[in-house]
Amino acid sequence: MSGNLVETLIGAVVLVVAGFFLYFSYDKADVGAVEGYSLTAKFDKVDGVKVGSDVMLAGIKVGTVTDQDLDAEEYLAVLKISMSQKVKLPDDSAIKIASDGLLGGKYLSIDPGGSEDYLEADDEIRFTQGAVDLTELIGKAIYSTGSGGGKK
């Protein structure tokens, strides 16, 4: 009977330690949404960007993608972004979709502009660059360097 009690106590300790590591990794992963003001940006293509994707400035997370929608009139993808209150962006800033390595996830990267006027809540970031299709680029590179039967 005492063997079952020891096994139960060891199992409980293992569960408590596992719960602690789960909480610690979630806390350090910084996966929560950034609370702040809302901005929108329209892209021609947002492949790989999802709700919850990071918005980075100089390699630091300053925002989160909070919503995706389609502009039915212009056929553009509309992303809503929650930006940190501490970050004030010039109104001529640019935003692009970047990749975290060759096979990594997608995130939004902000290049701040030089204007003295700043974006405010519910403003739109006008200068955008959509996602780059890696397979399309590889296909173009292969076909442009292949022998096209041209004259020598």
User: Is residue 151 over pLDDT 80?
Assistant: no
Determine the pLDDT at residue 114: 92
**Are the CB atoms for 39 and 80 separated by under 8 Å?**
yes
User: Is residue 80 over pLDDT 90?
Assistant: yes
pLDDT one-digit tens code per residue, 26-75: 776 656 566 789 999 999 999 889 998 999 999 999 999 999 999 999 99
- Of 79, 71, 74, residue with least CA distance to 47: 79
pLDDT one-digit tens code per residue, 107-135: 999 999 999 999 999 999 999 998 877 77
Taking the whole predicted model, whether its pTM rises above 0.85 is answered as no
User: Is residue 2 over pLDDT 70?
Assistant: no
